[in-house]
Chain A
Amino acid sequence: EDKVVQSPLSLVVHEGDTVTLNCSYEVTNFRSLLWYKQEKKAPTFLFMLTSSGIEKKSGRLSSILDKKELSSILNITATQTGDSAIYLCAQNHGAGNMLTFGGGTRLMVKP
């Protein structure tokens, strides 16, 4: 069964810190790796990565995929309290555009 593992499980930082969240996957039918942010309700889409080494960036958030290492990282610079959320990564592995999600990293940013 395909497995997606995220680390750390949780993280507490102060505003202004930089954080790096990790995601590893093991799959034989990889199509893409996605990152979502989940606050109180539904996950909202952040990034989709398909090619190794190409950074995707949106404001203070960025992400990159390493297909050789079967991993991805999500970086958040100059964190703000509004970044507090659960960050989920998911791997798209083929038929039906199905996603397998990791367990998430819970980030808390203190003022």
Chain B
Amino acid sequence: NAGVTQTPKFQVLKTGQSMTLQCAQDMNHNSMYWYRQDPGMGLRLIYYSASEGTTDKGEVPNGYNVSRLNKREFSLRLESAAPSQTSVYFCASSKSGSGSYEQYFGPGTRLTVT
């Protein structure tokens, strides 16, 4: 079991360029999440997908789009990168249901926008 995997690990973009961050999980989880983490701050939720076929905005969705491609994969797209999007991006997944479940995190993508 690889758990949650993310690609790429590192990326440098110029302002205005676009890119897609990929995330996949092999734990058969229904819910998936994208976070960003800036220095000195905790993780902030960008978008989440409670189940296949649904996506919802989190705390900081502006400048991002997501696609829940299937149960395993959840991608994050930056259409026109800005320096304010320089951050470390984490994907996570969890079980879903009426209970409360921990989230499992991928290794992160460090993105720099110049």
Number of A-B contacts (CB under 8 A): 64
Number of interface residues of A (CB under 8 A): 27
Which chain A residues border B95 with CB–CB below 8 Å? 97
A100 to B95 Cα, complex, angstroms: 17
> Number of contact residues on B: which range applies?
20 to 34
Most buried by B among A42, A44, A95: A42
Interface pair B100/A50, CB less than 8 Å apart: yes
Interface pair A99/B90, CB less than 8 Å apart: no
Interface pair A97/B41, CB less than 8 Å apart: no
Give the residue of B31, B42, B45, B96 whose beta carbon is less than 8 angstroms from that of A102. B42
Which chain B residues border A64 with CB–CB below 8 Å? none
Q: Output the nearest chain B residue to A10 by Cβ-Cβ distance.
A: B40
A50 to B58 Cα, complex, angstroms: 23
A42 to B100 Cα, complex, angstroms: 20
A4 to B45 Cα, complex, angstroms: 13
Give the residue of B45, B102, B106 whose beta carbon is less than 8 angstroms from that of A42. B106
Which chain B residues border A34 with CB–CB below 8 Å? 102
- Chain B interfacial positions (CB closer than 8 Å to A): 4, 31, 33, 35, 40-45, 48, 50, 56, 58-59, 90, 94-96, 100-108
